[in-house]
Amino acid sequence: MKLKVLKSDITTIKVDVIVNAANTSLLGGGGVDGAIHRKGGSEILEACRKIRATQGKCNPGKAVITTAGNLPTKYVIHTVGPVWNNRGEDKESLLANCYTNALRLAIENDIKTIAFPNISTRIYKFPKKLAAKIAIETVRSFNQEQIEEVIFVCFDEENYNLYDKLLRI
């Protein structure tokens, strides 16, 4: 599986699936979540409402998949990252689970290309350097041939530089 990093807006990336750094309600919010819901349109919100009606909220570390609505991708995988309020193994493993569960859903849906945002690093205040390390290590260790390319899409220069440096190691 090929890994790369881009500095871009994830809602413009043309891959099979983009990952949304969602909140537990799955009903949109700020940051990446809000941008995906706004640009994707009402189809994504309606799909999320149906998921909530059957399973309830989405807990941290878990992931669900929906249509992509008006986005240039087939699907959106919504995953809920942990809120960083103190250092703890549980927060790190929850963040790793976001990537693992998204990749599992991708395989179940015959996905070849996937784009991840910087999960939990903005509003949820997960330390960016640690989050980048967890993201890259988790994806590298997943080791699945079906997924051909994983793109880490960074909105800001700081995250881009962190991912770029780690991917070169």
Which one of the listed residues 33, 110, 156, 164 is annotated catalytic?
33
d(CA 152, CA 8): 10
Burial of 93 (0-12, 13-18, 19+ CB in 10 A): middle
Which residue is associated with the tokens 């099979």? 16
User: 3-state DSSP call for residue 22?
Assistant: strand
d(CA 66, CA 77): 6
33 among known catalytic residues: yes
Tokens of 41: 């349109």
Type of residue found at 51: I
User: 3-state DSSP call for residue 116?
Assistant: strand
Residues noted as catalytic? 33
